[in-house]
Chains A and B, each alone.
Chain A
């Protein structure tokens, strides 16, 4: 070792690097004439602790204020910032830049299968319409009890996985069957139906199974597991769909 040392890295210093973001931009023409989406590249100085969302913030706040995307809590709970990062549906706020290949531009696109409003913002209405259709609320009969509706730990465990859904649409917009015509209910709606169908306190299970026993319901699932892979909450989506299928078959026979 020579005496002429480079300045030693400070203890606890976060490495910083430069990344290129390649963002699919789309701006509708107010006159109604069709516009074509195009790619924009941005160079951003980022730290090892930065997420894709931080990079997008840097672009929006320092380089191009017209870049449009959704985010609310920015910590993986609200489910606003699902987008297609390097071809995979993820939450921008849960994807660390250092986990991606930063030697190449990082592609950021809006989620597929839903109408794009601007840049990374899509119209979530078809997604929520499917969600509303499965009646995502407790359905009971008889008199309302004066205390809580009790449930054993085992009964709660039965549908625990599907309670984690944050409705970010990462699963539904990763489903090839949904991409085709957008008529399929989609994994998210089925997951949220599962959450009530297997809840011991709920009495609307039969109704919900009836709703999902549709030409565009659970039977369109081809078990490609895209949804399970895309889910930022780690829900076993495909498994939940299969459990709903099984409930339908045992009900029919």
Chain B
């Protein structure tokens, strides 16, 4: 019977004998990274929230000067950098698996993942640049554009 070998069915059977293997530890490391970064992000994000919103004067203390002061310290630079990178890789990997699970056509997958990786690159590069090149009082700017503490 040709019917069994070639079912005229809504879904075509998998082509060729057996699948192309895609073995390797990539997905294993990805899986572990999701767990590890998740735990770390819990600490980083709640630490961030506490320092910004609760400690000291609390939420009233937040202004341009507060952020400038935080980024003047290498400790908070590293903290924010870790938070940015971990959150972006964690989130991007999560959305990647969702695309793999739900997008059925290869074309759709390619487009969605392209957009995803583009967004990842833009946010990570821009964010990293901001953290390390932030200068609250750029030299040579008109005085009325600068915050009040730039007296030099």
Contact = CB atoms under 8 A, between A and B. Distances in A.
Nearest to B27: A219
A183 B109 CA distance: 15
Contact of B13 (A126, A177, A215, A219): A126
B28 A180 contact: no
Q: How large is the interface on B (under 10, 10 to 19, 20 to 34, 35 or more residues)?
A: 20 to 34
Given A129-B14, A210-B23, A181 B104 contact: yes
A6 interface: no
A215 B26 contact: yes
If over half of A's interface residues share one DSSP class (helix, strand or loop), that class is named, otherwise mixed; here it is mixed
Nearest to B102: A180
Interface in B99-113: 100-104
Interface string B1-19: 0011001111111100011
A213 interface: yes
Interface in A125-177: 125-126, 129, 133, 176-177
A123 to B, nearest CB: 5
Contacts of A245: 31
If over half of B's interface residues share one DSSP class (helix, strand or loop), that class is named, otherwise mixed; here it is loop
A222 interface: yes
B21 A214 contact: yes
A211 to B, nearest CB: 7
B30 interface: yes
A116 B9 contact: yes
Given A115-B11, A177-B101, A222-B101, A28 B3 contact: yes
Given A116-B7, A123-B4, A129-B14, A216 B101 contact: no
Contacts of A28: 3, 7-9
A24 to B, nearest CB: 12
B24 interface: yes
Interface in A212-253: 213-217, 219-220, 222, 245, 248-249, 252
A216 B19 contact: yes
A117 B12 CA distance: 11
B101 A214 contact: no
Interface in B7-62: 7-14, 18-19, 21-28, 30-32
B9 A213 contact: no
A99 interface: no
A116 B3 CA distance: 11
Interface in B118-151: none
Contacts of B11: 113-115, 182
A32 interface: yes
